[in-house]
Structure 1
């Protein structure tokens, strides 16, 4: 009240220290009641599930805060102007009419309302950002979990058949059997160590593929022919581990092994417009056997989607009695 008198020319001739004291008391009371409003709003208003009824609850809090603020300030005025300022005449001033007191209370109701709207807006944005961060973290954890599930899946049938074939080979060609065991061991080690990574150099993946081909030749022998057409510029490009191996395995299982005369698998890579293109071409057709679950192909598609989103693509097509599986992934 003293501030309004001072602003209108200080017609009551209040001293500077009295005006300053009134000013700081108003500030302190405002801080105290807005702080209490904040505590009550945080306790009773669910920011993650706001409903219309919460609006009426907030209005109730605002009315209560206004009444308590008005009561506290009125008590302060009466005590201060009576016992400290010795200016009881101020309390009898026309400005102390019921109408002016109602206007004063209404002004502070509007002030508390504006503060509440601002606080709720800021708090809501903070909660929204927190919720977004939590969602992104959960999505990241889920993505990582899915990738860990999809990575490093060596077909157990391949392992079983390889061990059986090597056992049979030991009766015919011990040095070659020993060499195949070494290759199988390297394949397992690769699967265990590289499956924890999301990307490796293409050159490292090729070593794994060559081991896989040599092991597969124990059973298929001359029926399996393999050629490489590798762009040297692509050797250091990072790719998902074991993704080429899965393409080769699919080509052998559903292509070469089903042909009596066998066939040829060609692995080629090239760089086109900041994209690495990987192609595995094999003799055969796209006929799908009844017992095929196509898990390998689904695995490849899911891994590419998780790692690159729409920036990568996988395509499988048949052209002139040849099946072509192609992958395009970004190089940066």
Structure 2
């Protein structure tokens, strides 16, 4: 079920039950009029809106990224503020529905009890919200670990693919006598790529600069194989280097562009990598390659033997939720563009709030 829909269902059921219980016991003890009934409904609606406002604050300011002491202090202050607002709302609701009893409702003991009860309701709501957040992130972490292990194995298989190694070593062998310095450089690049794959560990995100360095090593190797058939263009804005991205994500896209684009063209073609910062602190990564994406081909056929575009989509979904986007499309009849948007804030897998 959609997370937002689940949230609203739980909110409505929870505070709806609160109103029902209050109405039920009020009718048992002293009877209840239609006016009093609506007063309870409006109070429940206030609880719903005020807790939703608290959720908005928690999400907007990343409370679950705070240390435990600061989180505790901010939570207590917020719950106290909501409790005070709730007591004032009760007075206004009673006044609006004509059920206000000044001689009782304004007594210090009654106000104190209402304040304490309201604080307890809000604290209970926040505790449930925090537990749901914790359990949901735990499940997301398990899904992420399973997916990242699958991606790591698939990528290592791709990097160590005999065909890839055969082409790379053949290119180096041809350079040993012709250009020994260039051959040494090519061997170093192969070593760097393999080391990067093996040392990726279980990091969810890495510096953009590290990912770009590996991509450049890969394209330098492919340039040896394709020679003048491969043209590489980089358009990287300086702001891009302040971002972190999922490891091997850009590498996966570039490999896909080489295998399904450039390799199928007799005259070769262009690989153009653009990275820029958007207006709302997001990183836009665009890989443009010569070729054509057949929209009539089945999804499985388009990705057959590829480098995991679907895995890339799933990783983005697990890490960033709806804040990231992925799309691949034709640009005219000669180029294919793969475009990714990544938010700058920390990944929601670790701190994914509802």
Aligned match of 2:149: 148
**In 2: Cα distance, 1:131 partner to 1:238 partner:** 27
Cα offsets for 1:300-329 (capped at 9, x unmatched)? 112111211221111000012210000001
The alignment of Structure 1 onto Structure 2 pairs a total of residues equal to 207
Deviation at 1:247, TM superposition (A): 1.0
Cα offsets for 1:216-268 (capped at 9, x unmatched)? 11211110100000110111211111111111111111111111111111100
Aligned match of 2:313: 301
Cα offsets for 1:91-134 (capped at 9, x unmatched)? xxxxxxxxxxxxxxxxxxxxxxxxxxxxxxxxxxx99x989966
CA contact (8 A) 2:208 2:240 kept: yes
Aligned match of 2:242: 236
Deviation at 1:136, TM superposition (A): 5.0
| Residues 1:226 and 1:195: Cα distance change in structure 2 (over 3 Å) | farther
**In 2: Cα distance, 1:166 partner to 1:281 partner:** 27
One of 277, 286, 296 as aligned partner of 1:279 = 286
One of 156, 172, 192 as aligned partner of 2:178 = 172
CA contact (8 A) 1:148 1:195 kept: no
Q: Compute the RMSD of aligned alpha carbons.
A: 2.7
| Residues 1:270 and 1:131: Cα distance change in structure 2 (over 3 Å) | closer
CA contact (8 A) 1:195 1:241 kept: no
Aligned match of 1:219: 225
CA contact (8 A) 2:256 2:307 kept: no
Aligned match of 2:164: 158
| Residues 1:136 and 1:284: Cα distance change in structure 2 (over 3 Å) | closer
Aligned match of 2:266: 260
| Residues 1:299 and 1:161: Cα distance change in structure 2 (over 3 Å) | farther
**In 2: Cα distance, 1:138 partner to 1:165 partner:** 46
Aligned match of 2:203: 197
**In 1: Cα distance, 2:151 partner to 2:239 partner:** 28
CA contact (8 A) 2:252 2:307 kept: no
Runs of at least 5 residues in structure 2 that lack an aligned partner in the other structure: 1-126, 346-354
**2:255 aligned with 1:249:** yes
Larger radius of gyration: 1
Q: Highest relative contact order (Cα 8 Å, sep 6+), 1 or 2?
A: 2
**2:325 aligned with 1:313:** yes
**In 1: Cα distance, 2:338 partner to 2:211 partner:** 17
Runs of at least 5 residues in structure 1 that lack an aligned partner in the other structure: 1-125
Which stretch shifts more, 286-295 or 161-170? 286-295
Alignment of 1:12-161 (within 5 A): 137-151=138-152, 153-154=155-156, 155=158, 156=161, 157-161=163-167
Aligned match of 2:337: 324
| Residues 1:133 and 1:331: Cα distance change in structure 2 (over 3 Å) | closer
**In 2: Cα distance, 1:132 partner to 1:199 partner:** 21
SS of corresponding position for 2:293? coil
Aligned match of 2:276: 270
Q: Give the alignment's TM-score, normalised by structure 1.
A: 0.56
**In 2: Cα distance, 1:208 partner to 1:279 partner:** 17
Cα offsets for 1:131-170 (capped at 9, x unmatched)? 9966753442232222232147141242343223323433
**In 1: Cα distance, 2:219 partner to 2:338 partner:** 17
